[in-house]
Amino acid sequence: MKIYKIPESLKALIFDIDSTLYTNPSYAFEQVDCQIRQFAKEKGITADEARKMVSDYRKSFAEENNGKKISLGNTLLAFGISIEQSVEWRKTLMEPKDFLSRDEELICTMQLLQKKYKLICVTNNPVFTARKTLDAIGISVYFPDIVGLDTCYKSKPATEPFMEACHILKVNPKECLATGDRYDMDISLPLELGMGGILVNGVEEIYTFPSII
């Protein structure tokens, strides 16, 4: 865990979902690879060829942007796959309950946090898929609102999803703390917007939040 900033007047917590509110390397891999395989099918190339295209593009992007990472959605966009198409793929190709299960410790954690803060998720998955993920791990009730890829049709890092979360919660960015497992996607832009930020390595570190914020 790396704590970049915790706002003095903290009112809201913005959570990434995947590899943040659960730790499951198999599902993390499959979420990406199922889309790459679909991309390969659409383009009439092998899965390995598609994986190399994505990997090479991401490597070039990082080299040209001071090491910054790019989301899969924005990578596929560069190859002619619209965000709208990415949304549909993610809705149909992903099934969280095949990989995830109820997390009692996380449920207890959210019970404590929601007593003090407003909670919302901002994710690069569609709301439909994100909701199924929260249902699978048992914390959906604590997140009445989700800002997904199909909310603003912008893939993190982008200003619009984070500002939409502030609008929904009726809070100032300076009153928000963003948490996620990828600095470039989940933390860097919120910090620029005046939010706090905590980078985590998985759900095990989320369990400690009631004692550190």
The band of 120, judged by pLDDT with boundaries at 50, 70 and 90, is very high
The residues that bridge with 29 in the sheet, in sequence order, are: none
What lies within 8 Å, CB to CB, of 37 at 6+ separation is: 47, 50
pLDDT tens digit string along 38-77? 999 999 999 999 999 999 999 999 999 999 999 999 999 9
Q: What is the pLDDT of residue 91?
A: 93
Q: What is the mean pLDDT of the chain?
A: 97
| Residue partners of 80: CB distance under 8 A and separation at least 6 | none
The pLDDT value recorded for residue 27 is 95
Q: Model's pTM, two decimal places?
A: 0.90
Closest CA to 31 of 119, 159, 129: 129
